[in-house]
Structure 1
Amino acid sequence: MTLLQMLLEVGLGMLLGVLGGVFGIGGGLLAIPALGLLGLDQQLAQGTALVMVVPNVMLALWRYHQRNRIDWRHGLLLGLSSLLLAWGGARFAVGLDAGAMRLAFVAFLLALALWNGLQLWLQPTAAVPKRLPSAGLVLLGGGCGLLGGLFGVGGAVLATPILTLLFGLSQVVAQGLALALALPGTLVTLLTYAGHGQVDWASGLPLALGGLLSISWGVRLAHRLPARRLRAWFALFLVGCALLLALKG
């Protein structure tokens, strides 16, 4: 890898870090289609993106906690329940056809965008927090862990809209708690992809460095945006990621 390539990947990591901080997702959703456009197949792109996502999620989780105190009991229930199913999803994903995985991921992103857009219509007023039942958190963590392991995105992207719509959390509080869900599953997913040779460390490490340099800016911006605008931007972001990935076909 040349110095110019490394600097470009650090710059890409900084852009993804800002977006990951804004949306509380670690940046993997955009990193995967971007790496696909650079020539990596779907599984290798997902594994390489996780090299950036894991440290980004750690730092973003801490930054969100500083601004909106996270209930670690809830975070622990979500994180532990996601762990085993994330491993199972990742084990399944590394053996699938790359083209089929890409199409499934596009459909996954579009479904999430539709879900988030639907929220804007279903929840026009400010969220009213509800009690978070332990059984519901375990089910949520397990389901998000499975999909996060399958698609290499950590599960936070799915948890956030459910926490806002069903549990009445604000967008930024839900994003912080979703990061607590994502961390254990994201780590085990990275280890699983790496164990199957589906990680390009030479590309992943510069991305990770760029993300760590910028993700705090994104967290700061997220807390300044109105909740409905943040949710609308999130839905548009998902559609953009899906379109980028579809271009690879």
Structure 2
Amino acid sequence: MGGRNEAASPSAERASAERAVERLDARGVAVLVAVGLACGILSGLFGIGGGTIIVPALVWLGLSQRHAAATSLAAIVPTSVSGVVSYALGGNVNWLAALLLAAGVVVGSQIGSMLLGRLSEVTLRWVWVVFLVFVIVQQVTFTPPRDGVLVLHVWSGVFLAALGVLTGSLAGILGIGGGAIMMPALSFVLGASDLMARGTSLLVMFPGAISGTVANWRRGIVHLKSGLIVGCCAALTAPLGTTMAGMISPRAGSLLFAAWLAFLAVRSTMTALRATRASRAA
């Protein structure tokens, strides 16, 4: 597949996803369960949806980058609910900021879903690599405050809505929740504490993931069975990750997340290079 992706019909895409479901043996289910449990811990710990774990795992199991991204977004729905409950009980959710972000995310997720169906497989893989590198640099260079306070006014509200559109678009393309984008913006630009930024980001992921998943399902690119296995398992362990987040310093959390992403970036770059060579040889 080179350049722009040849658009497949929703029925053809769904048939491909169904074949992937049929190939999901006991080993595949075990991998999905393990990924879900790990994803839940990291979701609560870092305030992310878990796409940085789910997408590579699904690609490794045989799904295309496109199907993996769409399926990951579906898995984020139950994951985000479990994580946000834990943060909300601790008073670490700004509901108004989440509402403004969510309004933009719902719009952006539709844009992202549309682009996901049109971009080539090779392009999607390289966009993923660039995103990982961006987040690694951000995590290493910026440490969020633990005692920050999020203050809203007119211009910050406009900023949050625009940020939501950007986040939703990238989330739709990459199959992520968007926490890696929203968290630094909430802390660095608006002064939120690291815990408030994580809790608010997780709340915003819920409507965005639902909106994107519905759009992806209509396009026939969601592997729903895998998404539900991962998401439900992640929902079980997300509260544990939330507890861990309050026990470590913001700096330690940032460096741990960056180390994990660096591993994924190396692996994803190798995969993207192989896909590029195969595309050119075709």
Q: TM exceeds 0.5?
A: yes
* 142, 145, 162: which one aligns with 2:165: 142
Separation of aligned partners in 2, 1:172 and 1:236: 20
Question: What's the CA shift for 1:146?
Answer: 1.8
8 Å CA contact retained: 1:87, 1:185:
no
* 81, 90, 93: which one aligns with 2:116: 93
Name the amino acid aligned to 1:149: G
Name stretches of at least 5 consecutive residues in structure 1 with no aligned partner: none
* 198, 218, 228: which one aligns with 1:205: 228
Range moving further from structure 2, 146-155 or 128-137: 128-137
Asked if 1:28 corresponds to 2:28, the answer is no
8 Å CA contact retained: 1:34, 1:244:
no
Q: What SS is found at the alignment partner of 2:142?
A: helix
Within a 5 Å distance, the mapping from 1:171-186 to structure 2 comes to 171-186=194-209
Within a 5 Å distance, the mapping from 1:181-196 to structure 2 comes to 181-196=204-219
Separation of aligned partners in 1, 2:251 and 2:206: 26
Residues 126, 18 of structure 1: CA spacing in aligned structure 2 closer, same or farther, 3 A cutoff? closer
Name the amino acid aligned to 1:50: L
Question: What's the CA shift for 1:126?
Answer: 5.6
Question: What's the CA shift for 1:68?
Answer: 2.7
* 72, 83, 87: which one aligns with 2:106: 83
Question: What's the CA shift for 1:127?
Answer: 5.5
Name the counterpart of 1:245: 268
Question: What's the CA shift for 1:245?
Answer: 2.2
Name the counterpart of 2:42: 19
Separation of aligned partners in 2, 1:36 and 1:127: 39
Range moving further from structure 2, 236-245 or 69-78: 236-245
Question: What's the CA shift for 1:148?
Answer: 1.5
Where in structure 1 do 4 or more consecutive aligned residues deviate above 6 Å? none
Question: What's the CA shift for 1:4?
Answer: 4.3
Name stretches of at least 5 consecutive residues in structure 2 with no aligned partner: 1-23, 275-282
Q: What SS is found at the alignment partner of 1:153?
A: coil
Structure with larger Rg: 2
Name the counterpart of 2:68: 45
Residues 107-141 of structure 1 show CA distances to partners (whole Å, capped at 9, x for unaligned) of 11101211222214xx7x76543523212221222
Name the amino acid aligned to 1:93: L
Name the amino acid aligned to 1:215: A
Separation of aligned partners in 1, 2:194 and 2:134: 19
Residues 187-209 of structure 1 show CA distances to partners (whole Å, capped at 9, x for unaligned) of 11111222112122232222122
8 Å CA contact retained: 2:75, 2:231:
yes
Residues 44-101 of structure 1 show CA distances to partners (whole Å, capped at 9, x for unaligned) of 1111212321110111111111113422122111111211111111111121101110
Aligned positions, number: 246
Separation of aligned partners in 1, 2:182 and 2:60: 27
Name the counterpart of 1:215: 238
Asked if 1:129 corresponds to 2:149, the answer is yes
8 Å CA contact retained: 1:10, 1:208:
no
Separation of aligned partners in 2, 1:104 and 1:185: 20
Name the counterpart of 1:108: 131
